[in-house]
Amino acid sequence: MNAPLQDYTVSKSIASAQALLSVDNVSLEYRTPQRVVRATHQVSFEIDPADRFVLLGPSGCGKSTLLKAAAGFIQPVEGEIRLQGQRVDAPGPDRIVVFQEFDQLPPWKTVKQNVMFPLLASKTLKGREAEERALHYLEKVGLAAFADAYPHTLSGGMKARVAIARALAMQPKILLMDEPFAALDALTRRKMQEELLLLWEEVRFTLLFVTHSIEEALVVGNRILLLSPHPGRVRAEVHSHQYDLHSLGGVAFQESARRIHRLLFDEGDAANAEHELDFADIRIAY
Ligand SMILES: Nc1ncnc2c1ncn2[C@@H]1O[C@H](COP(=O)(O)OP(=O)(O)OP(=O)(O)O)[C@@H](O)[C@H]1O
Ligand SMILES: [Mg+2]
Protein backbone atom coordinates (compact mmCIF):
# COMPACT_ATOMS: atom_id res chain seq x y z
CA MET A 1 0.00 0.00 0.00
CA ASN A 2 1.22 3.47 -0.77
CA ALA A 3 2.14 5.83 2.01
CA PRO A 4 0.27 9.12 2.11
CA LEU A 5 2.05 11.91 0.29
CA GLN A 6 2.37 13.95 3.46
CA ASP A 7 4.57 11.32 5.12
CA TYR A 8 6.52 10.93 1.92
CA THR A 9 7.19 14.67 1.72
CA VAL A 10 8.34 14.82 5.33
CA SER A 11 10.68 11.84 5.03
CA LYS A 12 11.99 13.12 1.72
CA SER A 13 12.79 16.57 3.08
CA ILE A 14 14.84 14.97 5.82
CA ALA A 15 16.62 12.70 3.36
CA SER A 16 17.47 15.50 0.92
CA ALA A 17 18.01 18.55 3.10
CA GLN A 18 19.41 20.35 0.08
CA ALA A 19 16.59 20.17 -2.45
CA LEU A 20 17.19 22.72 -5.18
CA LEU A 21 13.68 24.14 -4.98
CA SER A 22 11.33 23.53 -2.04
CA VAL A 23 7.69 24.47 -2.26
CA ASP A 24 6.41 24.12 1.26
CA ASN A 25 2.68 24.22 2.01
CA VAL A 26 2.14 27.03 -0.47
CA SER A 27 -1.23 28.72 -0.97
CA LEU A 28 -1.50 31.37 -3.66
CA GLU A 29 -4.26 33.91 -4.17
CA TYR A 30 -5.28 36.69 -6.52
CA ARG A 31 -6.99 39.67 -4.94
CA THR A 32 -9.28 41.78 -7.07
CA PRO A 33 -11.43 44.61 -5.68
CA GLN A 34 -14.46 42.30 -5.87
CA ARG A 35 -13.07 39.04 -4.51
CA VAL A 36 -10.19 36.79 -3.57
CA VAL A 37 -9.42 33.86 -5.88
CA ARG A 38 -7.48 31.02 -4.30
CA ALA A 39 -5.34 29.49 -7.06
CA THR A 40 -3.51 26.78 -5.08
CA HIS A 41 -4.10 25.36 -1.62
CA GLN A 42 -1.25 24.11 0.59
CA VAL A 43 0.88 22.66 -2.18
CA SER A 44 4.20 21.02 -1.30
CA PHE A 45 6.89 19.46 -3.46
CA GLU A 46 10.66 19.38 -3.80
CA ILE A 47 12.80 19.52 -6.90
CA ASP A 48 16.29 18.04 -6.89
CA PRO A 49 19.12 19.09 -9.21
CA ALA A 50 18.66 17.78 -12.78
CA ASP A 51 15.03 16.82 -12.15
CA ARG A 52 12.57 17.27 -14.99
CA PHE A 53 9.68 18.02 -12.69
CA VAL A 54 6.23 18.41 -14.23
CA LEU A 55 3.17 20.16 -12.82
CA LEU A 56 0.14 18.47 -14.38
CA GLY A 57 -3.49 19.36 -13.83
CA PRO A 58 -6.64 20.66 -15.48
CA SER A 59 -7.06 24.20 -16.74
CA GLY A 60 -7.37 26.68 -13.88
CA CYS A 61 -5.77 24.47 -11.21
CA GLY A 62 -2.99 26.98 -10.59
CA LYS A 63 -0.06 25.56 -12.56
CA SER A 64 0.96 28.90 -14.10
CA THR A 65 0.43 30.61 -10.77
CA LEU A 66 2.78 28.14 -9.07
CA LEU A 67 5.36 28.75 -11.77
CA LYS A 68 5.06 32.52 -11.34
CA ALA A 69 5.50 32.07 -7.60
CA ALA A 70 8.63 29.96 -8.14
CA ALA A 71 9.90 32.71 -10.44
CA GLY A 72 9.27 35.24 -7.65
CA PHE A 73 6.54 37.28 -9.38
CA ILE A 74 3.89 36.33 -6.80
CA GLN A 75 4.27 35.82 -3.05
CA PRO A 76 2.48 32.99 -1.21
CA VAL A 77 -0.24 33.93 1.28
CA GLU A 78 0.74 30.83 3.22
CA GLY A 79 3.85 28.65 3.17
CA GLU A 80 7.24 29.32 1.62
CA ILE A 81 9.27 28.71 -1.53
CA ARG A 82 13.01 28.25 -1.13
CA LEU A 83 15.78 28.00 -3.70
CA GLN A 84 18.80 26.22 -2.19
CA GLY A 85 17.45 27.13 1.23
CA GLN A 86 16.99 30.84 0.42
CA ARG A 87 13.47 32.21 0.51
CA VAL A 88 12.24 33.28 -2.93
CA ASP A 89 10.86 36.79 -2.60
CA ALA A 90 11.66 38.39 -5.97
CA PRO A 91 12.50 37.43 -9.54
CA GLY A 92 16.17 36.70 -10.24
CA PRO A 93 18.49 35.56 -13.03
CA ASP A 94 18.79 32.17 -11.32
CA ARG A 95 15.18 31.37 -12.37
CA ILE A 96 14.26 31.93 -15.99
CA VAL A 97 10.75 31.46 -17.38
CA VAL A 98 9.87 30.30 -20.90
CA PHE A 99 6.24 31.11 -21.63
CA GLN A 100 3.76 29.64 -24.03
CA GLU A 101 3.66 32.61 -26.39
CA PHE A 102 6.64 32.89 -28.63
CA ASP A 103 5.80 36.45 -29.43
CA GLN A 104 7.76 37.07 -26.25
CA LEU A 105 10.71 37.68 -28.61
CA PRO A 106 11.02 41.42 -29.39
CA PRO A 107 10.64 41.58 -33.21
CA TRP A 108 13.14 44.42 -33.69
CA LYS A 109 16.03 42.33 -32.33
CA THR A 110 17.74 39.58 -34.31
CA VAL A 111 17.78 36.04 -32.94
CA LYS A 112 21.27 36.57 -31.51
CA GLN A 113 20.33 39.93 -29.99
CA ASN A 114 17.27 38.30 -28.42
CA VAL A 115 19.43 35.65 -26.77
CA MET A 116 22.02 38.21 -25.67
CA PHE A 117 19.51 40.64 -24.23
CA PRO A 118 18.91 39.07 -20.77
CA LEU A 119 22.65 38.46 -20.37
CA LEU A 120 23.33 42.17 -20.98
CA ALA A 121 20.30 43.52 -19.12
CA SER A 122 21.11 41.49 -15.99
CA LYS A 123 24.80 42.44 -16.36
CA THR A 124 25.63 38.73 -16.31
CA LEU A 125 28.03 39.18 -19.24
CA LYS A 126 29.31 42.05 -21.40
CA GLY A 127 29.37 42.48 -25.21
CA ARG A 128 31.77 39.92 -26.63
CA GLU A 129 31.22 37.30 -23.90
CA ALA A 130 27.45 37.65 -24.17
CA GLU A 131 27.70 37.18 -27.92
CA GLU A 132 29.82 34.05 -27.54
CA ARG A 133 27.46 32.60 -24.95
CA ALA A 134 24.44 33.38 -27.17
CA LEU A 135 26.02 31.70 -30.18
CA HIS A 136 26.97 28.68 -28.07
CA TYR A 137 23.36 28.08 -27.03
CA LEU A 138 21.96 28.88 -30.48
CA GLU A 139 24.27 26.18 -31.76
CA LYS A 140 22.89 23.77 -29.14
CA VAL A 141 19.33 24.32 -30.33
CA GLY A 142 20.38 24.06 -34.00
CA LEU A 143 19.88 27.72 -34.89
CA ALA A 144 23.43 28.99 -35.34
CA ALA A 145 22.68 29.68 -39.01
CA PHE A 146 19.76 31.94 -38.03
CA ALA A 147 21.65 34.15 -35.58
CA ASP A 148 21.09 37.24 -37.70
CA ALA A 149 17.50 36.48 -38.71
CA TYR A 150 14.53 38.38 -37.25
CA PRO A 151 11.86 36.49 -35.29
CA HIS A 152 9.07 37.09 -37.82
CA THR A 153 11.03 35.07 -40.37
CA LEU A 154 11.08 31.98 -38.11
CA SER A 155 8.57 29.14 -37.72
CA GLY A 156 6.82 28.53 -34.39
CA GLY A 157 9.21 25.68 -33.54
CA MET A 158 12.21 27.86 -34.31
CA LYS A 159 10.88 30.64 -32.09
CA ALA A 160 10.44 28.05 -29.35
CA ARG A 161 14.09 27.08 -29.78
CA VAL A 162 15.20 30.72 -29.55
CA ALA A 163 13.23 31.14 -26.32
CA ILE A 164 14.88 27.99 -24.90
CA ALA A 165 18.36 29.12 -26.01
CA ARG A 166 17.76 32.54 -24.46
CA ALA A 167 16.74 30.93 -21.16
CA LEU A 168 19.58 28.39 -21.08
CA ALA A 169 22.15 31.05 -21.97
CA MET A 170 21.48 32.60 -18.58
CA GLN A 171 22.54 29.26 -17.05
CA PRO A 172 19.76 29.49 -14.47
CA LYS A 173 19.64 27.21 -11.44
CA ILE A 174 16.21 26.19 -12.63
CA LEU A 175 14.44 26.59 -15.96
CA LEU A 176 10.71 27.26 -15.62
CA MET A 177 8.59 26.37 -18.65
CA ASP A 178 4.88 27.13 -18.87
CA GLU A 179 3.27 25.02 -21.63
CA PRO A 180 6.12 26.04 -23.93
CA PHE A 181 4.96 23.88 -26.85
CA ALA A 182 1.20 24.29 -26.53
CA ALA A 183 0.92 26.71 -29.46
CA LEU A 184 2.73 24.35 -31.84
CA ASP A 185 1.21 21.79 -34.20
CA ALA A 186 1.36 18.15 -33.03
CA LEU A 187 4.40 17.12 -35.07
CA THR A 188 6.46 20.17 -34.15
CA ARG A 189 5.46 19.74 -30.53
CA ARG A 190 6.74 16.17 -30.53
CA LYS A 191 9.97 17.29 -32.17
CA MET A 192 10.43 19.99 -29.54
CA GLN A 193 9.86 17.48 -26.74
CA GLU A 194 12.53 15.28 -28.29
CA GLU A 195 14.94 18.19 -28.64
CA LEU A 196 14.33 19.29 -25.08
CA LEU A 197 15.21 15.79 -23.83
CA LEU A 198 18.35 15.69 -25.99
CA LEU A 199 19.34 19.10 -24.69
CA TRP A 200 18.76 17.91 -21.15
CA GLU A 201 20.99 14.85 -21.78
CA GLU A 202 23.72 17.26 -22.82
CA VAL A 203 23.34 20.15 -20.35
CA ARG A 204 21.56 18.44 -17.40
CA PHE A 205 19.68 21.58 -16.39
CA THR A 206 16.95 21.46 -13.75
CA LEU A 207 13.49 21.87 -15.22
CA LEU A 208 10.08 22.77 -13.81
CA PHE A 209 7.65 22.16 -16.67
CA VAL A 210 3.93 22.93 -16.74
CA THR A 211 1.50 21.11 -18.98
CA HIS A 212 -2.05 19.85 -19.01
CA SER A 213 -1.18 17.06 -21.43
CA ILE A 214 -0.75 13.70 -19.66
CA GLU A 215 1.24 12.36 -22.61
CA GLU A 216 3.60 15.34 -22.61
CA ALA A 217 4.07 15.00 -18.84
CA LEU A 218 5.05 11.34 -19.15
CA VAL A 219 7.46 12.03 -22.00
CA VAL A 220 9.13 15.16 -20.65
CA GLY A 221 9.15 14.51 -16.91
CA ASN A 222 11.02 12.22 -14.56
CA ARG A 223 8.57 13.19 -11.80
CA ILE A 224 5.02 14.43 -12.18
CA LEU A 225 2.98 16.26 -9.58
CA LEU A 226 -0.74 15.79 -10.15
CA LEU A 227 -2.91 18.72 -9.09
CA SER A 228 -6.64 18.69 -8.42
CA PRO A 229 -9.02 21.08 -10.20
CA HIS A 230 -9.28 24.63 -8.91
CA PRO A 231 -8.00 25.46 -6.34
CA GLY A 232 -5.01 23.20 -7.00
CA ARG A 233 -4.09 20.74 -4.29
CA VAL A 234 -1.61 17.90 -4.59
CA ARG A 235 -3.33 14.69 -5.64
CA ALA A 236 -0.27 12.50 -6.10
CA GLU A 237 3.29 12.37 -7.30
CA VAL A 238 4.27 9.89 -10.00
CA HIS A 239 7.71 8.82 -11.15
CA SER A 240 7.94 8.69 -14.93
CA HIS A 241 11.66 8.48 -15.67
CA GLN A 242 11.13 5.18 -17.49
CA TYR A 243 9.33 6.88 -20.40
CA ASP A 244 10.50 8.87 -23.40
CA LEU A 245 9.20 9.51 -26.91
CA HIS A 246 9.92 5.90 -27.86
CA SER A 247 7.43 4.77 -25.21
CA LEU A 248 4.51 6.53 -26.94
CA GLY A 249 1.77 4.09 -27.84
CA GLY A 250 3.35 1.27 -25.80
CA VAL A 251 1.15 -0.76 -23.46
CA ALA A 252 2.85 0.35 -20.23
CA PHE A 253 2.79 3.99 -21.34
CA GLN A 254 -0.91 3.88 -22.21
CA GLU A 255 -1.73 2.21 -18.92
CA SER A 256 0.22 4.88 -16.98
CA ALA A 257 -1.62 7.59 -18.91
CA ARG A 258 -4.98 6.01 -18.00
CA ARG A 259 -4.03 5.75 -14.33
CA ILE A 260 -2.96 9.37 -14.24
CA HIS A 261 -6.22 10.33 -15.89
CA ARG A 262 -8.15 8.46 -13.20
CA LEU A 263 -6.09 10.09 -10.45
CA LEU A 264 -6.69 13.53 -11.93
CA PHE A 265 -10.34 13.30 -12.74
CA ASP A 266 -12.00 10.54 -10.70
CA GLU A 267 -13.49 11.94 -7.55
CA GLY A 268 -13.81 9.94 -4.37
CA ASP A 269 -12.35 6.48 -4.66
CA ALA A 270 -9.52 7.19 -7.09
CA ALA A 271 -6.80 6.80 -4.50
CA ASN A 272 -8.17 3.53 -3.17
CA ALA A 273 -8.61 2.15 -6.66
CA GLU A 274 -4.96 2.89 -7.41
CA HIS A 275 -3.82 0.74 -4.51
CA GLU A 276 -4.93 -2.31 -6.39
CA LEU A 277 -2.96 -1.26 -9.43
CA ASP A 278 0.74 -1.55 -9.66
CA PHE A 279 2.10 1.88 -10.60
CA ALA A 280 5.88 1.92 -10.74
CA ASP A 281 6.23 4.56 -8.04
CA ILE A 282 3.33 6.60 -6.82
CA ARG A 283 2.39 8.49 -3.70
CA ILE A 284 -1.22 9.42 -3.20
CA ALA A 285 -2.30 12.49 -1.27
CA TYR A 286 -5.45 12.05 0.79
N1 LIG B 1 -4.56 37.77 -12.74
C2 LIG B 1 -5.53 37.03 -12.18
N3 LIG B 1 -6.50 37.59 -11.43
C4 LIG B 1 -7.46 36.85 -10.84
N5 LIG B 1 -7.54 35.51 -10.93
C6 LIG B 1 -6.59 34.89 -11.66
C7 LIG B 1 -5.54 35.60 -12.33
N8 LIG B 1 -4.77 34.72 -12.99
C9 LIG B 1 -5.30 33.49 -12.75
N10 LIG B 1 -6.39 33.59 -11.95
C11 LIG B 1 -7.20 32.48 -11.45
O12 LIG B 1 -6.37 31.62 -10.69
C13 LIG B 1 -6.67 30.26 -10.98
C14 LIG B 1 -5.43 29.55 -11.45
O15 LIG B 1 -5.02 30.11 -12.68
P16 LIG B 1 -3.74 29.57 -13.48
O17 LIG B 1 -3.55 30.46 -14.64
O18 LIG B 1 -2.60 29.41 -12.55
O19 LIG B 1 -4.24 28.11 -13.95
P20 LIG B 1 -3.52 27.06 -14.90
O21 LIG B 1 -3.50 25.75 -14.16
O22 LIG B 1 -2.23 27.58 -15.39
O23 LIG B 1 -4.55 26.91 -16.12
P24 LIG B 1 -4.29 26.67 -17.69
O25 LIG B 1 -3.99 25.21 -17.85
O26 LIG B 1 -5.59 27.05 -18.32
O27 LIG B 1 -3.15 27.55 -18.12
C28 LIG B 1 -7.81 30.28 -12.00
O29 LIG B 1 -9.02 30.10 -11.31
C30 LIG B 1 -7.74 31.65 -12.60
O31 LIG B 1 -9.02 32.11 -12.97
MG1 LIG C 1 -1.52 28.15 -17.25
Nearest Cα neighbor of 117 from 140, 203, 106 is: 106
The confidence band for 100, taking pLDDT boundaries of 50, 70 and 90, is: confident
Question: Which residue lies with its CA nearest to atom 7 of ligand 1?
Answer: 30
Least confident of 25-34, 104-113, 180-189: 180-189
- Residue range 24-53: average pLDDT? 96
pLDDT grade for 269, boundaries at 50, 70 and 90: low
Q: So what's the pLDDT on residue 265?
A: 85
Task: Indicate the pLDDT class of residue 244, thresholds 50, 70 and 90.
Answer: confident
Separation of CA 38 and ligand 1 centre (Å): 9
Residue 9 has pLDDT above 70, yes or no: no
List, in sequence order, every beta strand (DSSP E) within the chain.
Answer: 21-31, 36-47, 52-56, 78-83, 86-87, 95-98, 174-178, 207-211, 223-227, 234-239, 282-284
pLDDT at 167 exceeding the cut of 70: yes
Task: Say if residue 6's pLDDT is above 90.
Answer: no
Answer yes or no: are the C-beta atoms of 9 and 44 closer than 8 Å.
yes
Q: Are strands 78-83 and 223-227 parallel, antiparallel or unpaired?
A: unpaired
Q: What is the mean pLDDT of residues 24-45?
A: 95
Q: What is the mean pLDDT of the chain?
A: 87
C-beta 27 within 6 A of ligand 1: no
Phi and psi, residue 237, nearest 5°: -125, 135
The pLDDT assigned to 268 comes to 53
Question: Is the pLDDT confidence value at 245 over 90?
Answer: no
Q: Does domain 5-94+174-284 have CATH number 3.40.50.1110?
A: no
Which residues are CB-neighbours of 9 under 8 A, at least 6 positions away? 44, 45, 46
211 pLDDT more than 60: yes
Residue 8 — very low, low, confident or very high, per pLDDT cuts 50/70/90? Answer: very low
Q: What is the pLDDT of residue 226?
A: 96
As a whole number, mean pLDDT of residues 11-27 equals 76
Residue closest to 235 by CA, chosen among 113, 110, 112, 55:
55
Q: Is the CB of 59 under 6 A from ligand 1?
A: yes
Read off the pLDDT band of 99 (50, 70, 90): confident
Among residues 28, 22, 39, 159, the alpha carbon closest in space to that of 98 is found at 159
Query: What are the residue ranges spanned by the domains of the chain?
Result: 5-94+174-284, 105-171
Residue 28 Cβ contacting ligand 1 at under 6 Å: no
The per-residue pLDDT for range 185-210, each reduced to its tens digit, is 888 889 889 989 998 998 899 999 99
**What pLDDT does 183 receive?**
83
Distance of CA 9 to the CA centre of its chain: 19
Query: What residue's CA is closest to ligand 1, atom 14?
Result: 62
